[in-house]
Amino acid sequence: MVSHSELRNLFCSADAVCFDVDSTVIQEEGIDELAKFCGVEDAVSEMTRQAMGGAVPFKAALTQRLALIQPSREQVQRLLAEHPPHLTPGIRELVSRLQERNVQVFLISGGFRSIVEHVASKLNIPSTNVFANRLKFYFNGEYAGFDETQPTAESGGKGKVIKLLKEKFHFKKIVMVGDGATDMEACPPADAFIGFGGNVIRQQVKDNAECIQYFRYFKYSSRNNLQARNPGVEILLSTEVVTAHPPSAPPLGAVLSVRDGSPFLPSWYLSHRKCYKDFFKKGNMEG
């Protein structure tokens, strides 16, 4: 089990941070939005819930959902033009500050590359740092399936991507951030997993993660560090914890911040269904 201090040190020294996209970087589930656009929302949404909770193998769920949607190239393009995905509040600033610190940022998604690349462009993340599933179309633009050779097309695929990143770039420490079971199972080979519960809480992740952080939104704040020799900035990974507080605990917020290379992790974490509280000795508490 990763301890509070170990997770803090891992985040501080990470070479790369990998973000899930659906319900993490963006507020929606891309495949559900595509299903809604194509008129088959209800059936597909239930399949998505089961897949993200780990109840159904990911590839099987993806195959079944796409068989119902049958999206054409034109429908995907119209979806992006008419109903573009909404970024989770604060993610743009967080990614920007990570990049300023020369931390490599990757998007690893079980969603569709055409949608994920659109999101990446809004965050100034190069397409080479995007790993997602590819839809296939016939010459007339009709749906022809998806590329089943992509690692993200199956359960365990995100872990395979992270293993590849470590081998290719020699990253020593990678942090995975996401909401679903496929994100949680990517650690290991990821060195730490931070669960994001700001858009949706997956019960299996909540119940089984050894060490998990839940937040409602990402937040960036720039402040002068009066005690530091050089003014610094803080990266705040959200404020309001989603988990239930013990009866005696006030509804405090929690902040994951990085200031001048020194991290301050959230005051709340879950470990085997137990909730612990640890007030910061440094940093800020926000409610």
Active site residues per annotation: 20, 22
Tokens of 280: 């910061």
The Cβ of residue 145 has, within 10 Å, a number of other Cβ atoms equal to: 13
Q: What are the phi and psi torsion angles at 49 (to 5°)?
A: -60, -45
Dihedral sign computed on CA atoms, order 282, 99, 188, 116: positive
Q: Which residues are registered as beta bridge partners of 251? A: none
Give the count of alpha carbons within 13 A of 135, CB side only.
Answer: 27
Q: CB under 8 Å, gap of 24 or more: what pairs does 120-125 form?
A: 122/87, 122/92, 123/25, 123/87, 123/91, 123/92, 123/95, 123/96, 124/95, 124/96, 124/99, 125/95
List the end-to-end C-alpha distance of the chain, in Å, as a whole number: 28
Tokens of 277: 């509280």
